[in-house]
């Protein structure tokens, strides 16, 4: 299991905008473990900081990326890619079979989120969901 301390270490090593004052959460609720990160000053209303939230389902060995956000002022500079790489690394540490997401919107370069994720190795599984499988499940 990836602990709170492991998660903080992962953020320190893999996300250049991480600061010790940022909010980092790793908690368990029933069969699900939640991982969330928010840069200092982030609020849902203002969306001025970076944020992501993911849920780990141990029984399914999967990680669902609930949301990922990079403010407009920081888009197109590689920070989104850093967060996606971090989430994918987290999934590997958790021994996940795949990561799942429901993409929406556009990247900082204007590309649809769906097209961006396809370039990152995600595959459509239905009309709204994409998955990135790890080698053992291809």
* The predicted structure's pLDDT at residue 44: 67
DSSP string, 90-118: HHHHTT-SEEEE---SB-TTS-BHHHHHH
- Listed by start position, the domains of the chain span 4-137
Bridge partners, residue 124, by sequence: 130
- DSSP-derived 3-state class of residue 122: coil
> What is the per-residue pLDDT across 92-111, written as a single tens digit (0 to 9) for each?
999 999 999 999 988 878 89
**pLDDT grade, residue 14 (50/70/90)?**
very high
- Say which residues have a Cβ less than 8 Å from residue 26's Cβ, sequence separation at least 6: 2, 3, 4, 6, 7, 33, 34, 35
**What mean pLDDT is predicted for residues 68-97?**
92
* The predicted structure's pLDDT at residue 4: 92
Quote the CATH superfamily of domain 4-137: Gcn5-related N-acetyltransferase (GNAT) (3.40.630.30)
Q: Is residue 62 within 8 Å of 33, Cβ to Cβ? A: no
> Token pair of 37, please?
């990160």
What's the whole-model pTM score?
Answer: 0.90
Helix 79-93 and helix 4-14: axis angle, to 10°? 140
**What mean pLDDT is predicted for residues 44-68?**
89
* The predicted structure's pLDDT at residue 138: 41
């Amino acid at each position: 299991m990836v602990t709170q301390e492991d998660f903080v270490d992962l953020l320190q090593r893999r996300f250049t905008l991480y600061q010790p004052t940022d909010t980092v959460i790793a908690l368990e609720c029933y069969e699900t473990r939640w991982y969330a990160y928010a840069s200092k000053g982030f609020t849902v209303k203002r969306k001025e900081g970076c944020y992501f939230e993911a849920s780990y389902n141990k029984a399914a060995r999967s990680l669902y990326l609930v949301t990922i956000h990079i403010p407009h002022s920081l888009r197109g500079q590689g920070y989104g890619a850093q967060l996606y790489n971090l989430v994918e690394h987290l999934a590997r540490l958790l021994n996940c079979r795949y990561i799942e997401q429901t993409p929406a919107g556009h990247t900082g370069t204007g590309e649809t989120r769906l097209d961006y994720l396809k370039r990152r190795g995600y595959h459509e599984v239905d009309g709204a969901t994409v998955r990135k499988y790890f080698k053992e499940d291809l």
